[in-house]
Amino acid sequence: MRNMDDFPARDGRVSGADYRFRKMSEQDLAEVLAIEHETYEFPWSEMIFKDCLRVNYHCYVIESAQQVKGYSVMTVAAGESHILNICVDKSLRGFGVGHCMLVHLVEQARSHRAEMMLLEVRASNKIAIELYLRNEFNEIGRRNAYYPAKKGREDALILARIL
């Protein structure tokens, strides 16, 4: 469990003492799903999150006043880490919480001896792409028609960084 005071906020707008990271549990899923459904047009199902927990993926929440305000899901195997999902409650976007969650994932991946971190991001998700580029990720490829979209499919950028 880490307090947000341990992380540098982008511009000091996050009140560190009020937030903490911890492992996600099934009891968190109602709050996680509420954020997921509010954020994504094609959200993950409860079963996907349950499967991630069941197979011991690295699943974390960030909470304030015992309320989930964001979450992340990552795998680590064979020297690689793969971020599968990272999301912040709409009310906290733009306050450095996503950056802090990303720093937390990098630290967790390193602690499990990962040497590289990978992720896919929608090509249209400019805010997330900027966050990743500011945090040493580089575009290494593209997956055509990877994500469902209102009008068919959308490409994903593949980003990676050395740990």
Three-state SS for the chain is CEEHHHCCCCCCCCCHHHCEEEECCHHHHHHHHHHHHHHCCCCCCHHHHHHHHHCCCEEEEEEECCEEEEEEEEEEECCEEEEEEEEECHHHCCCCHHHHHHHHHHHHHHHCCCCEEEEEEECCCHHHHHHHHHCCCEEEEEEEEEEEECCEEEEEEEEEEEC
Unique residue bearing structure tokens 């919480």: 97
Q: Which residues are catalytic?
A: 120, 132
